[in-house]
Structure 1
């Protein structure tokens, strides 16, 4: 009787969380037209089916349709799994299914991916431009031309600084989720591990989902099964639309067994990472307002404050630049023969991109990263701001055993 009660309680928790965390599609609207979402997702679904048919014929079309149907059934079947399994295993399955369901908001070419990575940065950039374009009318009595120019230069410089902070934050979150959560480049406590995971969520990523995808990328680099290979599916797919592909929606738990075993609390970030990231971003904005905002901007509404727009735009541009690395960090040609590999060849087409160091740091040595993925830095340390932060955290005792090419770890 007690086991049946516990099973029923787990199913109730699953249903409640599923209902509570179901995507709010209304928030995805960009117009007031009532048929917008229907046509966006319906048209996107048809385009996906057409692409599957063009690439794989009837088999490709059938595979996509059966895959969507299997995903829907798996959400229902999970209720039975949750009923029979113990709490910890049940919670893993609950999170995996809810994340799968929520990822369908990105499905197809007209979901969150296109609007979040292409449309929204243009809107925010236009809002920021409009703020400065109409600045003369915001002052009563009117300012002289010299006074207005002084104010504009001051505000533009500050907004550029805030933009850079947002861009740098995105670059560092990518480094954390990549080098630490995917490759364990250092060790830390469970508390700081959760803090770092929460920080990663400020970029819209979550640690377990991202680690599972990236480890799969290393396992099948530029082969069938690689989630974002430009060699397999082209630049745009590797840079953006792999996020909208149903085949990449489910968390492949086999690739993150270490995190599921040692830090199951990270699963909460898979459910509430957007809320945690939103709170941290709001806190960062409040710090920027308090430390940098001129007194004459203190009365500006938060949503239209130029700092909020610049910070958001910096993060959005950072997202695009970081994900673009998936498309340009691997060549489209066959790799050079390798003397250190038994048959002289490797399917991985990772290349070096020296000119991209300003956004990804020492990950420009991408070929070396694929050879030795566990290092926290590649090349000279001074080219990598992220590594400097890791070294500082190590000196403070927050992390330890930081792996480097020259000493394996630092104190």
Structure 2
């Protein structure tokens, strides 16, 4: 079983011969064609999202379309939150080999980038959170209103167009050494194709019509991807600008309750930055965290072990003094 490091580890840069066989999709810089492709993947689904309301008002939306959109949304969302984030990035639990592979594939279906690049970016974010070196801090340009507005745009999606990328051999050496995970990362375009074509394939076969395939593609592919993208990016932007901060952290991460369900528990962001390896982010009463629930189910099935669940002592140790005294 392959495990992840508890902390980010430094490693030497590989030589030319070493890097070639361990290459992953999306290296340390973006080419012009990749910039254009990234713009299309962001822009087209977002236009579809803006068109969703008038489209639904004029032609309606079938239960099949709704089911495909919701099902694919939460499959990809939990692939990111349970897989890419809590497992691959932070090692909040250990998974058996089949589940490890399944989580890498499920996260890839969210169309948020190759698994190795995603993990490298997020480990770098935690190392420099809201400080120089953080790839997507909303405080990048300062604290004035104009600077913060510019920073929110950067944190939400602008940072992804930066040509300078996180060195994957430095921040994700453990994943690069795993041949299966490295292959899944290199096959990101193929998994994206599967993610986008599965809904229209099902819609067309069930309704036996091109219209059924089209509406399934609109709702289950375009709108679903756009919504998931912007919810995920909101964790980078909104949750580092506003929200309650009951726990001590060295950055400005906050809890944003109204994003909790759609983000699968990721918007309880303050505790996460106070205790990054914790398997549960929503640790206080009433904080819904579906990702933690799924990890618990995996544990009961015997698919995961060594889960880093929060204890009352662990939570109390990270609460701010004034909060702890009031409790």
TM-score category by the smaller chain?
Answer: 0.7 to 0.9
CA deviations over 1:184-211 (Å, ceiling 9, x no partner): 1111123321221111111122221111
Larger Rg: 1
Aligned equivalent of 2:20: 90
Aligned equivalent of 1:225: 133
CA shift for structure 1 position 271: 1.7
* 1:297-308 correspondence to structure 2 within 5 Å: 297-300=207-210, 304-308=213-217
Structure 2, unmatched stretches of 5+, are 1-13, 142-150, 314-327
Aligned equivalent of 1:148: none
Aligned equivalent of 2:157: 240
State the number of aligned residues.
286
Aligned equivalent of 1:116: 41
Provide the C-alpha distance between the structure 2 equivalents of 1:283 and 1:112, rounded to a whole number of angstroms.
Answer: 21
Q: Is the 8 A contact 1:169 1:315 kept in 2?
A: no
Higher relative contact order (CA 8 A, sep 6+): 2
Provide the C-alpha distance between the structure 1 equivalents of 2:167 and 2:179, rounded to a whole number of angstroms.
Answer: 14
Aligned equivalent of 1:266: 181
2:129 matched to 1:213? no
Q: Is the 8 A contact 1:350 1:367 kept in 2?
A: yes
Q: Is the 8 A contact 1:230 1:327 kept in 2?
A: yes
Q: Is the 8 A contact 1:198 1:277 kept in 2?
A: no
Q: Is the 8 A contact 1:125 1:309 kept in 2?
A: no
Provide the C-alpha distance between the structure 1 equivalents of 2:199 and 2:44, rounded to a whole number of angstroms.
Answer: 24
Aligned equivalent of 2:224: 314
Provide the C-alpha distance between the structure 2 equivalents of 1:383 and 1:124, rounded to a whole number of angstroms.
Answer: 26
Q: 2:279 aligns with which of 358, 364, 376?
A: 376
Aligned equivalent of 2:85: 178
Structure 1, unmatched stretches of 5+, are 1-77, 136-151, 341-345
Superposed CA RMSD in Å reads: 3.4
CA shift for structure 1 position 213: 0.5
CA shift for structure 1 position 232: 0.9
Q: Is the 8 A contact 1:170 1:319 kept in 2?
A: no
Q: Is the 8 A contact 2:79 2:104 kept in 1?
A: no
Distance 1:355 1:276, change over 3 A: closer
2:268 matched to 1:386? no
Q: 2:193 aligns with which of 253, 278, 281?
A: 278
CA shift for structure 1 position 397: 2.2
TM-score normalised by the chain length of structure 1:
0.60
Q: Is the 8 A contact 2:92 2:279 kept in 1?
A: yes
SS in 1 for 2:187: helix
SS in 2 for 1:375: coil
Q: Is the 8 A contact 1:202 1:274 kept in 2?
A: no
CA shift for structure 1 position 382: 7.1
Distance 1:285 1:178, change over 3 A: farther
Aligned equivalent of 1:352: 255
Aligned equivalent of 1:146: none
Distance 1:130 1:229, change over 3 A: closer
CA shift for structure 1 position 381: 8.4
Q: Is the 8 A contact 2:130 2:137 kept in 1?
A: yes
Q: Is the 8 A contact 2:86 2:279 kept in 1?
A: yes
SS in 2 for 1:362: coil
Aligned equivalent of 1:364: 267
Aligned equivalent of 1:15: none
Q: 2:239 aligns with which of 317, 324, 329?
A: 329
TM-score normalised by the chain length of structure 2:
0.74
